[in-house]
Structure 1
């Protein structure tokens, strides 16, 4: 597969880029997997111009024709699932089984969005005059720039690509330079299925150069970004200057409120699996465990025992349960947070150290005694780091959950419907999981509030976000 990887500019594969080359690294072995072409402003501008032509062709097809092509793309993706999963594990580090689930879920997202694209209904408004009809229709916004991160190389881009295509938009896809191959393969599947060549581009290179060029390109009418709050502010400000629509899925720091009556037998195995899934590199990863005082010690001891069973290793090894972090910089960031917390009084319950000296492996880590002075309680760790804080009351837990200016994923565990209702009413977040951790499905909205961004990916809301509304009044 790696021998064929190239930039895609308006459907055309380019084996040379205007910004030179980039080495693709395996985070488990430190091996250079390939040397790939690197795009710059020139390719971004060209892709944007071609996307306008591709948009004219793609949007002219009926919703039913687009649906058939997208369903074909989903089937093609499923046919490449095993190969894609292994490649994703090699470039990003995650366990192959998790990569396979992600790739197939991304194909499901294409299927669901294709179906939803057939149902972008308008409406007839009762008129005030007998000889006038009033109708409301929805139309695709135009070419879209898709900016996706490295932690979910398939699902991340596809949360944007699938609803955009379903709405009738063309796409210029900018994956992370650390994980470009998965997005390239998605582009290949779309083109093979029959999406018009000029409607699909896949570019990687300097994030700032490509993003700036796409935001400024007059052909691009919407920006959809998943990234950090810092980058989100920059891109949103630039898009606002150009009066372009945006969807922003930014950082989180998911609280987990563990009430006194929580079922620890059910909670702890779930918490360990979801915390250390993808090495904790998940924007909705459970991170701040806010545990009621009477069960705090039992929760910590059970979490430690379960965490120490997690097998860390190369994601290609079937026995591995947690792979490496994707970049050395991310590992170093997590390690700094651990040392900062311990220096300020936290207790290192387990983990807290790098594994070996090859690859970006870090032990699954639990810290207790967390306080708000510690960096990890304020900045999203984005790694295999579980933070436990003792809570005297539910009010205290809600106050801590809402303390930060972010609100993406959040969780609560209780056997009481009254407590669950109180948390649902009081939490400031875009999503809340009660007694479980799964939040992202094709048919449900995914998004945050406050500094975690705005707009939804998934559900009917996603397809609508790639459309504009038009009123037509007709006097007969």
Structure 2
């Protein structure tokens, strides 16, 4: 693996090991950028950004669509890389690759619709509004979606006509490298896209402080997001922040408890629960509690935990030892406060970072798993008597990314839609992100949107032009 700067694959004097979470074996070395590498990447982004901005939209679209086609055609190969370095089952990895190829197609086509407008004005003046690329972007992405998170930044920035320096995760570098290869082979101008890895704090502080960088885009934890947003704010740079969540699920009294449980389990344990929008607090009406728990346990028992490269596996390992330790601590804390472990909840006795999917009941409100984003395969289930109380509990935390509700009443659904404080809401299912609609949070879960027409807006600036006609 190498860094990609100014259209060239380059090595570095420093590196770090990449670990397969299913075996704990070293599968490669990721290069770590030096300060000189970062400066070269920014300079390349300035030069390449000018070329890319001035490339006709038809040509930009053609290049991006070609890259999307290359990525889709390599889905099997890229998925195997992703599973090896991140752990998710091969089917999930392949689905992620195909989704991001679709997202790139969407953004490439949507950029053709970034219209300005002509405003009626005085007879000797043409008053218009133009949409223009904001300029070079610095982006930072996590390890849980090695294709999805980087592509959201790359696709949005490049479709808008911006150049980008992206620091992908050092734990899952191979997937980002494969994606960048597709852009390079599609004919993207040198410098328009630059890929680096390195010490996260060092890289982010250096890139954000560079005056040439005009926008900061980040996906990750709330504490890190607040730090980067503060650094961007100090330099008067806009930022796009997609941060953590602790998504509540409210199962109303008129819902189908079995259907709600099945759909909740599928979403809860996808990617081993390492999803910022993962349903992570289950609030079930007291009349349905026992039926929901029984169905939830039955569905959880069907999960096959193992190496994501093996046939039949439906949940891979956690991505690293840190997440494994965090899960053990959250379960131990809940049990010490009176919660009951109904399934799983312990590390599996084998090499790799495997954790048995945990289902907890009787979890008190003060347990850490109820107030901290678990980001792993733990499902705490509690009961409620009144919908108003459930919504109050759901909204009591500083998170506001995703929320889910189950009901067979249109009136109750509207109460949920109006009552949840979240930027993403699904009723009667636990739907994930789609490229044709925006995703993003409220409160401490961030600001700005990715996906849909709104996803392009962050990478554009609005220019008002008043043109006085003269002879």
* TM above 0.5: yes
Q: Distance in 1 between the 2:133 and 2:316 partners?
A: 40
Structure 1 match to 2:347:
354
Q: Distance in 1 between the 2:124 and 2:272 partners?
A: 63
Q: Distance in 2 between the 1:211 and 1:473 partners?
A: 38
**Per-residue displacement from partner, 1:199-238 (whole Å, max 9, x unpaired)?**
1111111001111111011111111000111001110000
The match for 2:401 among 384, 387, 408 is 408
Where 1:198 maps in the other structure, the secondary structure is coil
Q: Please tell me whether residue 60 in structure 1 is matched to residue 51 in structure 2.
A: no
Q: Distance in 2 between the 1:183 and 1:35 partners?
A: 14
Structure 2 match to 1:426:
419
Q: Distance in 2 between the 1:405 and 1:16 partners?
A: 40
Contact 2:258 2:292 in 1 (8 A): no
Q: Please tell me whether residue 450 in structure 1 is matched to residue 443 in structure 2.
A: yes
Contact 1:40 1:209 in 2 (8 A): no
Q: Please tell me whether residue 146 in structure 1 is matched to residue 142 in structure 2.
A: no
Q: Please tell me whether residue 371 in structure 1 is matched to residue 364 in structure 2.
A: yes
TM-fit CA distance, 1:40: 3.0
Structure 1 match to 2:177:
184
Question: 1:282-293, aligned counterparts within 5 Å?
Answer: 282-293=275-286
The match for 1:98 among 89, 92, 99 is 92
**Per-residue displacement from partner, 1:21-74 (whole Å, max 9, x unpaired)?**
100100000110012321132222221111000100000011111100000000
Contact 2:6 2:194 in 1 (8 A): yes
TM-fit CA distance, 1:371: 2.0
Q: Please tell me whether residue 107 in structure 1 is matched to residue 105 in structure 2.
A: no
Q: Please tell me whether residue 6 in structure 1 is matched to residue 2 in structure 2.
A: yes
Q: Distance in 1 between the 2:34 and 2:298 partners?
A: 49
Question: 1:224-263, aligned counterparts within 5 Å?
Answer: 224-263=217-256
Where 1:451 maps in the other structure, the secondary structure is helix
Q: Distance in 2 between the 1:49 and 1:212 partners?
A: 17
TM-fit CA distance, 1:357: 3.5
Contact 1:325 1:383 in 2 (8 A): yes
Contact 2:12 2:34 in 1 (8 A): no
The match for 2:44 among 40, 44, 50 is 50
The match for 1:470 among 428, 451, 463 is 463
Q: Please tell me whether residue 116 in structure 1 is matched to residue 110 in structure 2.
A: yes
Q: Distance in 2 between the 1:171 and 1:187 partners?
A: 12
Contact 1:72 1:193 in 2 (8 A): yes
Q: Distance in 1 between the 2:361 and 2:453 partners?
A: 40
TM-fit CA distance, 1:265: 3.0
CA RMSD of aligned residues (A): 0.9
Where 2:250 maps in the other structure, the secondary structure is strand
Q: Distance in 2 between the 1:265 and 1:302 partners?
A: 5
For structure 2, list consecutive stretches of 5 or more residues without a partner in the other structure: none
TM-fit CA distance, 1:271: 1.1
Contact 1:153 1:182 in 2 (8 A): yes
Where 2:239 maps in the other structure, the secondary structure is strand
Contact 1:40 1:206 in 2 (8 A): no
For structure 1, list consecutive stretches of 5 or more residues without a partner in the other structure: none
Contact 1:431 1:439 in 2 (8 A): no
Q: Distance in 2 between the 1:405 and 1:80 partners?
A: 40
Question: 1:149-298, aligned counterparts within 5 Å?
Answer: 149-298=142-291
Q: Distance in 2 between the 1:302 and 1:239 partners?
A: 47
TM-fit CA distance, 1:159: 1.1
Q: Distance in 2 between the 1:252 and 1:369 partners?
A: 22
Structure 2 match to 1:308:
301
Structure 2 match to 1:35:
29
TM-fit CA distance, 1:315: 0.2
Q: Distance in 1 between the 2:250 and 2:261 partners?
A: 13
Structure 2 match to 1:74:
68
